[in-house]
Amino acid sequence: MNPQLKGSLCGMLSAACYGTSPSLALLLYAQGFDAANSLFYRYFAALIMMLPLLALKKEKISLPLRDLKTLALPGICFALSTLTYFLSFNFMNAGISATILFLYPVFTAVIMVLAYHEKITVSIVLALVLSFAGVTLLHGAEAGGLSLIGSALAVISALTYALYIVGINRSHLVISNEKLTCWLILFSVGITAIYMLVSPDAAFMLPNKPQHYLYVILLGLVPTIISLELLNVSVLHIGSTTTAILGALEPVTAVALSVIIFNETVSFNLAAGICLIIGGVLLVLGGQRFKAKRVHTYIRRFNFVIRKNLRRRWRWKS
Tell me the per-residue pLDDT of 215-248, one tens digit each, with 9 for 90 and over.
999 999 999 888 888 887 887 777 666 667 677 7
Q: pLDDT at residue 139 above 70?
A: no
Q: Which pLDDT score, from 0 to 100, does residue 81 have?
A: 92
User: Which value, to the nearest 10 degrees, does the dihedral of the CA atoms of residues 204, 217, 56, 233 take?
Assistant: -120
What mean pLDDT do residues 127-144 have?
A: 72
Q: pLDDT at residue 5 above 60?
A: yes
Nearest to 61 by CA among 179, 215, 184: 179
Out of 5-19, 206-220, 237-251, 287-301, the most confident range is: 206-220
| pLDDT tier for residue 309 given thresholds of 50, 70 and 90 | very low
How far apart CA 19 and CA 247 sit, in angstroms, is 9
How far apart CA 22 and CA 258 sit, in angstroms, is 8
CB of 31 within 8 A of CB of 209? yes
How far apart CA 185 and CA 237 sit, in angstroms, is 25
Task: Give 266 or 77, the one with higher predicted confidence.
Answer: 77
Sequence length of the chain is 318
**Residue 144 φ/ψ region, left for φ over 0, alpha for ψ in the -120 to 50 degree band, beta for the rest:** left
- Residue 196 to residues 25, 77, 145, 186, 202: CA-CA distances in angstroms? 17, 17, 29, 15, 5
Task: Give 30 or 143, the one with higher predicted confidence.
Answer: 30
Q: Which pLDDT score, from 0 to 100, does residue 243 have?
A: 67
List of E strands, 20-155: none
Task: Give 309 or 43, the one with higher predicted confidence.
Answer: 43
10-32 per-position pLDDT tens digit: 888 988 898 899 899 999 999 98
How far apart CA 171 and CA 117 sit, in angstroms, is 17
Q: Which pLDDT score, from 0 to 100, does residue 143 have?
A: 59
